Amino acid sequence: MISVQDAQIIILELVESLEETETVSLEDATGRILAQPVSSSLDFPYWDNSAMDGYGVRFEDVKNCSSDYPITLEIVTEISAGINPKLSIQSGEACRIFTGAMLPDGVDTIVMQEKTHQEGKKVTVLSPPNYLGEFVRKRGSFYQAGEILLPSGLNINEPEMAVLATAQCSDLQVYRRPRIAILSTGNELITPSQTLQPGQIIDSNQYALKAFVVKNGGIPISLGIVKDQPKIIKQKIIEAINQADCVLSTGGVSVGDYDYIVQILAELGGEIKINRVAMKPGKPLTVAKFNNGCVYFGLPGNPVSALVSCWRFVKLALDKLSGLQSDYQPKFITAISQDNLSSQGQRETYVWGQLKLMNGQSSFSLAQGQQNSANLINLASSNALAILPIGTTKIHQGETVKVLML
């Protein structure tokens, strides 16, 4: 059985980033991954503009003023945001100016309104600016035209949307979304709309995995429930690997009489890279790679095990597949445990619960109720997994624990 760390290394080695791109409009760019660097022909700010409501002045005119020696200037024009100033400001003159308004020629410094006194067409400056250029947002001081504005491989979130809009980037090249096939195996499974008969189980994994895929930028292809019959499973797997970049199946990877997945993957020419991982839950994880590049994750059937495997491994695979530039490492932090945590110590153990800030410190609290890999109920509202390494059987309340943020 391989370690979690080795499994991560193997998975990241076998996943190749997609190279195909597509064009999307700015409106549809949120959550996509940039496939080429973006630059702009515009400086940012576009032109010198005021950072304050106040008066545009020549620094030389007012640099020596004080409350004992105030300087009075003549207001020759008023410039609000959106106006293209025509007048040039001469020595002894000032302009009334507002935040965001373009500076006229001659003005090099803004004096904030609070440091002045206006009477009619005259403004008296009561204290000097601290330096030449105070409260001026200089053209190109945030970004200069032609430089790289956003690099390729970047996930487009709120700030990137703002930057793209500012650069008038109406269409952009992004990587196509990875297609992820999802199938649930098990004779006991029914869909949520069917009537439950004794012994049956509702296929919750299909929905959990679909949510996981959507959240991570993939296109889910729901292939439904597959009975534990080798012929049918084989047919479904062929269908899946032919249309998806990655397949997630649940169930049938354990050691029971109905667990056929590993054998079928091998028969279909899949190279089995992993088939057990020293973790709890999530031991029966199978990972295979096909000639067409498709990566197959045979996840355990238990709902918690399936999701823990997704959060710990599949997430990194999807990040890499999607073209994201990243170190593809899980988001671990150290937290104070609010509960006693225990493990049998033989496998790396993941327990679920909530990560919160308490007195300014990250703290982890176990989900109430049973930590049982079939207990999908108390997994809801969990936002973190605390990790007990191999050999650690107890982490006491108040001690630190390594936590994976979800």
If one asks whether residue 239 binds ligand AMP (CB under 6 A), the answer comes out as: no
If one asks whether residue 186 binds ligand AMP (CB under 6 A), the answer comes out as: yes
If one asks whether residue 251 binds Mg ion (CB under 5 A), the answer comes out as: yes
343 binds, among Mg ion, ligand AMP, none (CB under 5 to 8 A by kind): none
269 binds, among Mg ion, ligand AMP, none (CB under 5 to 8 A by kind): none
If one asks whether residue 101 binds ligand AMP (CB under 6 A), the answer comes out as: no
For residue 99 the two structure tokens come to: 């935040």
For residue 142 the two structure tokens come to: 């945030």
Cβ neighbours around 329 below 10 Å, total: 10
Give the footprint of ligand AMP on residues 365-404 (CB under 6 A).
374
If one asks whether residue 298 binds ligand AMP (CB under 6 A), the answer comes out as: no
- Residue linked to tokens 């005119």: 61
d(CA 88, CA 101): 15
In DSSP notation, 249-296 reads EES--SSSTT--HHHHHHHTT-EEEES-BSEES----EEEE-TTS-EE
If one asks whether residue 213 binds ligand AMP (CB under 6 A), the answer comes out as: no
Strand pairing report for 71-79 and 93-97: parallel
Choice from 8, 205, 216, 349 touching ligand AMP (CB under 6 A)? 205
Q: How many residues bind ligand AMP (CB under 6 A)?
A: 19
If one asks whether residue 186 binds Mg ion (CB under 5 A), the answer comes out as: yes
Q: Return the exposure string of 298-314: e unless at least 16 CB atoms fall within 10 Å of the residue's CB, then b.
A: bbbbbbbbbbbbbbbbb
Distance of CA 91 to the CA centre of its chain: 52
- Choose between 205 and 309: whose C-beta lies nearer to ligand AMP: 205
Please identify, among the stretches 44-52, 174-182, 203-211, 293-301, the one whose residues bind Mg ion according to the rule CB under 5 A.
Answer: 293-301
254 binds, among ligand AMP, Mg ion, none (CB under 5 to 8 A by kind): ligand AMP
Please identify, among the stretches 54-62, 99-107, 250-258, 335-343, the one whose residues bind Mg ion according to the rule CB under 5 A.
Answer: 250-258
One-letter amino acid at 20 equals E
Q: Is it true that the peptide bond before 104 is cis, omega within 30 degrees of 0?
A: no
Q: What SS3 class is residue 237?
A: helix
Please identify, among the stretches 73-81, 184-192, 288-296, 385-393, the one whose residues bind Mg ion according to the rule CB under 5 A.
Answer: 184-192
Q: How many residues bind Mg ion (CB under 5 A)?
A: 4
